Structure 1
Amino acid sequence: MPLNPLMLTEKEIIDGCKAGKSNAQKALFLKYGPIMLSVCRRYARHQMEAEDFVQDGFIKVFRHIDKFKEESKLGTWIRRIMINNALKHVSKSAFKRESIGIADNYDQDIDAGTYAKLSAEEIMKLVNELPTGYKIVFNLYAIEGYSHKEIAEQLEIGESTSRSQLLKARRMLQEKFIELQKIAV
Structure 2
Amino acid sequence: MGEISNTDLLNLVQACIREDRESQKKLYKLFYGYAMSICLRYSQTREEATEVLNDGFLKIFTKVSKYNPEKSFKGWVRRIMINTALDNYRHNLKHYYAHDVTELEPDTTIQSVEAQLGYEDLIRLVQELSPAYRTVFNLYVIDGYTHEEIAEILSISVGTSKSNLSKARANLQARLKKSLKDEYRKYA
For the criterion TM > 0.5, the same-fold answer is yes
Deviations 1:24-62 (A, max 9, x none): 212211111221112111222222221111111111111
Residue identity matched to 2:62: R
Compare relative contact order (CA 8 Å, sep 6+) and give the higher one, 1 or 2.
2
Counterpart-to-counterpart distance in 1, 2:110 and 2:76:
38
CA contact (8 A) 1:53 1:82 kept: yes
Q: Is the 8 A contact 1:57 1:85 kept in 2?
A: yes
TM-score normalised over the length of structure 2: 0.82
- Match of 1:24? 23
**1:100 equivalenced with 2:100 (yes/no):** yes
Match of 2:62 in 1: 63
SS at match of 1:83: helix
8 Å CA contact retained: 1:140, 1:146: yes
Q: Give the C-alpha shift of residue 109 in structure 1.
A: 4.9
Aligned positions of 1:1-185 closer than 5 A: 9-90=8-89, 91-93=92-94, 98=98, 100-103=100-103, 105-106=105-106, 108-110=107-109, 114-183=113-182, 184=184
Q: 1:62 to 1:101 in 2, by over 3 A?
A: closer
Partners of 1:126 and 1:116 in 2: CA distance: 14
Cα distance between partner residues in 2 of 1:77 and 1:136: 19
Partners of 1:109 and 1:119 lie apart in 2 by 17
Gaps of 5+ in 2: none
- Equivalent residues, number: 178
Deviations 1:86-124 (A, max 9, x none): 21112234788x461444632x25596633221121122
Q: Which amino acid in the other structure matches residue 100 of structure 1?
A: D
Greater Cα offset, 85-94 or 160-169 = 85-94
For residue 174 of structure 1, report the CA deviation from its aligned partner: 1.4
Q: Distance in 2 between matches of 1:80 and 1:123?
A: 22
Identity level (%): 33
Distance 1:24 1:99, change over 3 A: closer
- Superposed CA RMSD in Å reads 2.6
Question: Which amino acid in 2 is paired with 1:92?
Answer: L
Instruction: Specify whether residues 147 and 110 from structure 1 end up closer, same or farther in structure 2 by C-alpha distance, changes over 3 A only.
Output: closer
Q: Is the 8 A contact 2:41 2:127 kept in 1?
A: yes
Bigger CA drift: 75-84 or 16-25? Answer: 16-25
Measured in 2, the distance between the counterparts of 1:89 and 1:111 equals 27
The answer on whether the counterparts of 1:94 and 1:132 sit within 8 Å (CA) in structure 2 is no
Q: Distance in 1 between matches of 2:170 and 2:23?
A: 45
- In structure 2, relative to structure 1, the CA distance for the partners of 1:157 and 1:94 (3 Å cut) is farther
